Amino acid sequence: MVYFILKRLFQSIFVMLAVAFLSFSLFRFVGDPVSQMTGVETTVEDRERLREELGLNDPFLFQFARFTGDLLQGDFGYSYRTRQPVAEMIADRIPATLELGTVALIISLLVGIPAGVYTALNPRGFVTQSILLTTLVGVSIPTFVIGIMLIFLFGVQLGWLPTFGRGGTVQIGGWTSSLFTVEGWRALILPAFTLGVYQLTLTMRLVRAEMMEVMRSDYILFATARGIPWRRLHFRHALANTMVPVITIIGLQFGGVIAFSIVTESVFQWPGMGLLFLESIRFVDIPVMGVYLVVIAFFFVLVNLAVDLLYIAIDPRLRVKEAA
């Protein structure tokens, strides 16, 4: 098990290095950093001196090593557009995106898993057929259109919920949270649901497929013959055995949730990292783009590591293997 964890850790570090390299190449080759920092009236000598000071004349690999070292120490450089430290800009925006993504993921699990179990256990029912048809249409409707529809229905026509921003926020340490006020939750519902819809359909279809597979297996037949109560049979014996693939996919999808939060944040003017990334693309603000990539990759790698550890907690066979 230790070997397994170490191996995964090593792979994660490799992925992070690859992404850091991509980010560094962006920074180094897309546009010239010196002309971004200086004005028209800067002389050629001044430019050359700045180039030397910034270390842009050093060997390529040496520069990359320094770039990675700076990243590790939390020095993410300065934005071309606002001249602020990128680390501060991102840190300001992280809570909004993480809260949005987490709530979206929780919604998708709370609705998706029961719906998947239900549609697997009653495959021919009317409710099942309508749920399946709804999800087929749901997958074909782009996220931003779902967002617009929700805004139109609940924000404009019914006037129940706010349609932009985070509502009331509370400062806890450096973390701006909208989870502790009623206004914050009201502002969170629509964007979180918009972001969660695609995940929800995916979770549901996966749980359904796995559940149907498991229900056909011999041990379920045997458990039925033993007269185990239905509730216990379905949840303790069947559902528990569908969880390993479900957790894998959810882990992989977390990256998708964060990426699609770009769209959701844009529709709802949600002040998170996605909105920041969009602005940075519009203004070709390379440092912010690069750091966004690194931060997203970091979350992605972290979640995947956590998923691997969860396997060990959920699947006893992995623990037994180590003992043997």
Nearest-angstrom CA–CA distance, 57 and 223: 71
Q: How far is the CB of 31 from another protein (least distance, A)?
A: 5
Q: Given the complex with another protein, which of 33 and 116 has the nearer CB atom?
A: 33
What does the alpha-carbon distance between residue 75 and residue 87 come to, in Å, rounded to a whole number?
7
Residues with Cβ < 8 Å from 244, sequence gap 6 or more?
Answer: 311, 314, 315
- For another protein, which is the closer residue by CB, 216 or 282? 282
Q: Which long-range contacts (CB under 8 A, 24 or more apart) does 153-158 make?
A: 154/190, 155/190
Chain residues that interact with another protein, rule: CB under 8 A: 15, 18, 26, 30-31, 136-137, 139-145, 148, 151-152, 156, 255-256, 259-260, 262-263, 266, 277-278, 280-282, 284, 286, 289, 293, 296-297, 300
Q: How far is the CB of 280 from another protein (least distance, A)?
A: 8
Half-sphere CA count of 176, side-chain side, radius 13 A? 14
Kind and range of the H or E run holding 175: strand 175-177
Burial of 230 (0-12, 13-18, 19+ CB in 10 A): exposed
- The CB-of-267 to another protein minimum distance in angstroms stands at 8
Q: How far is the CB of 229 from another protein (least distance, A)?
A: 35
Please give the single-letter amino acid code of residue 129: Q
SS3 (DSSP) at 140: helix
Task: Report the residue number, 192 or 296, with the smaller CB distance to another protein.
Answer: 296
Taking the complex as a whole, how short is the minimal distance between the CB of residue 268 and another protein, in angstroms?
A: 12
Closer CB to another protein, residue 55 or residue 142? 142
To another protein, the closest distance from the beta carbon of 181 in angstroms equals 25
Report in angstroms how near the CB of residue 318 gets to another protein at its nearest.
Answer: 23
**With respect to another protein, which residue has the nearer C-beta, 208 or 234?**
208
CB closer to another protein, 11 vs 42: 11
Taking the C-alpha atoms of residue 98 and residue 156, their distance in angstroms, rounded to an integer, is 27
Nearest residue (CB) to another protein, 107 versus 151: 151
Q: Are the beta carbons of 86 and 79 closer than 8 angstroms? A: yes
Taking CA atoms, 318 is separated from 159, 243, 247, 282, 301, in Å, by 52, 14, 15, 48, 21
- Which secondary-structure segment (H or E) carries 68? helix 60-72
